[in-house]
Amino acid sequence: MTLFVAADTSGAGLGNVFPMSAEVDLFSISHQDLGDGVHKGFGENPPDNNLIQVTYDRSDPGIPATRLDTLVNTNFGVNVNDVDVIIVAAGANFTLSDGTLTIGNGFTFPVGVTDNPTGSVLVVYDTSDNNGTGICVRKEGDGAGTFSIEEPENVILYHELSHAFHLANGDPLSSVASGCTASPEENRAETDENDMRDQLGLPHRDATDHCGNPGCQSSVSSCCIIASVASGSIYSETVKTLRNVRDGVLRCSECGFDFFNHLYEDYYAFSPEVCRLMARSPDLQELIRARFLVPLTTVLDLMQAHCIEQLSAEDLGLRFASRVTEAPELSRTSASDIDVALAIIGGDSAIETSTAIAAELGLLLRQRASPSPYVQWALMRPIAMILEALSWHLDGMTTRQIGSHLGMLFEDWATQMPLSSVWNSLSKYSLNEELGFLERTLLRTTESRRRFGQRLVEVLMADRAVLVGERWRG
Ligand SMILES: [Zn+2]
């Protein structure tokens, strides 16, 4: 049991880390292996001393899954603590201790080098997709100097894990090469990388070429669609939506970043257990996908339509209706399905109409997820809003009425954003920037600014509170 994800920087540098991204990428390396009833599949233990141990009882026969199995279940003896490999999932702003930016790249360090303060083999890789613009490499069969295929973050991680495996195993090859020629060690990692590309349905990389080209805009979207379709999993699509919100919207805001850090922390209090429950029950896996993940991606899209595109009530209702038509998970949802789903996320322990394992999920959420205002606001409440809208839809409400009701729910929801202590740590300048950011995103109306402003003034120190009052007098 020797593979770990760092919940912090692990001293490897400065910048944001997103352990959940590593969790998702490892899950995709396992080929979304949630077990088969005999084997438990992919999982992880709760954080311990800022390290999250990956667990894996493999049922998938694929090459990447088998490599992951070896990494997780072999004791390589890199150190006496049996922490052989640590993964740091870096954000776009991450800088190694020697000043190297990790953006658009992945690094694997042996024990004892400057950039590795841990006693383990250390992987640091970029999870920002080169800050959203992609990174391209040479495709097998293409000429030298051409970079036409995307290098997604799960492929970067799998590539680095090849280096990590051989370092832990004590058999790295020579890293000496010049120009774009891949060294023997790089050639082996890129050959391994192509196994992951096969699993994702992506074209092979030319394993003799080690260069990459930042900015891959022309091929990003098509590659991403292929990857999600090929992985056959809504998880990748859901995660991508979440990541877009995080990177495209909330990254722009200091408070947004702080918010997501809180959310990740609280998410870890229950997500490994939910994975374990899903591994025990394919029915539960389907229930979570259809009733929670699909509604979550839907609601994020509709919130974007309401807050950023500022659709009218009629158009918001129409957008909702077309989302329902497009997604069989939504259009097939019955009134009793909605009741069960709402009971589960409401943490209702007495779910009469459902199975024992669904009741177990309800209990787990009540104990570990519901107490977090971050999880409540960012995940539970938005999902509940879509479930409520679905029940209006079933009751025959018009699209205009649904749009108007949803708009009001979104407005109300936006004003309830949890407030952490970070708000008091901002300079007056930054506070003004944050308020401006919120005006352009979540708080589009005078009324929502007034209501959020009231909450903010209660937690802010006097001189900052004055600033909010001046800006959002109401
Ligand atoms: Zn490499």
Instruction: Find the Cα–Cα–Cα–Cα dihedral 169, 45, 87, 250, rounded to 10°.
Output: 170
Cα 33 to middle of ligand 1, angstroms: 26
What pTM did the predictor assign?
0.56
Cα 185 to middle of ligand 1, angstroms: 7
What pLDDT is stored for residue 231 in this prediction? 34
Cα 157 to middle of ligand 1, angstroms: 10
Cα 86 to middle of ligand 1, angstroms: 16
Selection from 52-56, 263-267, 429-433 with the highest mean pLDDT: 52-56
129 and 248 co-located in one domain: no
Cα 158 to middle of ligand 1, angstroms: 10
Confidence of residue 252 (pLDDT cuts 50, 70, 90): low
Query: Tokens 């049996």 map to which residue?
Result: 82
- Write the DSSP string, 382-449: HHHHHHHHHHHHHTT--HHHHHHHHHHHHHHHHHT----THHHHS-HHHHHHHHHHHHHTT--SHHHH
Q: What's the one-letter identity of residue 91?
A: G
CA atoms within 13 A on the CB side of 101: 8
Cα 183 to middle of ligand 1, angstroms: 9
Cα 359 to middle of ligand 1, angstroms: 46
Tell the burial category of 199 from Cβ atoms under 10 Å away from its Cβ (0-12, 13-18, 19+).
buried
**Domain around 344:** 238-418
- Least Cα distance to 159 among 130, 184, 127, 186 occurs for 186
Q: What percent of the chain clears pLDDT 70, i.e. is strictly above it?
A: 88
What pLDDT is stored for residue 147 in this prediction? 82
What total of structural domains would you count in the chain? 3
Which of 198, 217, 232 is the endpoint of a domain?
A: 232
Q: Any idea which of 149-163, 304-318, 321-335 has the lowest mean pLDDT?
A: 304-318
Cα 45 to middle of ligand 1, angstroms: 28
Tell the burial category of 455 from Cβ atoms under 10 Å away from its Cβ (0-12, 13-18, 19+).
middle
Confidence of residue 237 (pLDDT cuts 50, 70, 90): low
81 and 228 co-located in one domain: yes
384 and 435 co-located in one domain: no
For residues 361 and 125, the model is more confident at 125
pLDDT (tens digit per residue) in 1-36: 699 999 999 999 999 998 888 888 898 899 888 778
Instruction: Compute the distance between CA of residue 292 and CA of residue 271 in angstroms, rounded to an integer.
Output: 14
Confidence of residue 474 (pLDDT cuts 50, 70, 90): low
47 and 190 co-located in one domain: yes
243 and 379 co-located in one domain: yes
What pLDDT is stored for residue 4 in this prediction? 97
268 and 175 co-located in one domain: no
- Least Cα distance to 159 among 280, 64, 284 occurs for 64
What pLDDT is stored for residue 359 in this prediction? 84
Cα 212 to middle of ligand 1, angstroms: 11
What pLDDT is stored for residue 223 in this prediction? 27
What pLDDT is stored for residue 245 in this prediction? 58
Cα 96 to middle of ligand 1, angstroms: 17
170 and 307 co-located in one domain: no
Cα 53 to middle of ligand 1, angstroms: 24
What pLDDT is stored for residue 219 in this prediction? 32
Instruction: Compute the distance between CA of residue 50 and CA of residue 128 in angstroms, rounded to an integer.
Output: 21
Cα 77 to middle of ligand 1, angstroms: 23
Which of 197, 232, 267 is the endpoint of a domain?
A: 232
What pLDDT is stored for residue 282 in this prediction? 74
pLDDT of 234 over the 60 cut: no
Confidence of residue 376 (pLDDT cuts 50, 70, 90): very high
185 and 330 co-located in one domain: no
The percent helix, strand, coil of the chain (3-state, each to 5) is 55, 10, 35
Cα 159 to middle of ligand 1, angstroms: 6
Cα 450 to middle of ligand 1, angstroms: 52
Cα 193 to middle of ligand 1, angstroms: 9
Instruction: Compute the distance between CA of residue 380 and CA of residue 373 in angstroms, rounded to an integer.
Output: 10
Average pLDDT over every residue of 80-103? 92
Instruction: Compute the distance between CA of residue 474 and CA of residue 196 in angstroms, rounded to an integer.
Output: 56
Confidence of residue 426 (pLDDT cuts 50, 70, 90): confident
126 and 202 co-located in one domain: yes
Cα 60 to middle of ligand 1, angstroms: 25
- Mean pLDDT value across the chain: 85
58 and 175 co-located in one domain: yes
454 and 472 co-located in one domain: yes
Which of 418, 439, 459 is the endpoint of a domain?
A: 418
What pLDDT is stored for residue 194 in this prediction? 97
pLDDT of 244 over the 70 cut: no
Cα 36 to middle of ligand 1, angstroms: 33
281 and 401 co-located in one domain: yes
Instruction: Compute the distance between CA of residue 337 and CA of residue 453 in angstroms, rounded to an integer.
Output: 37
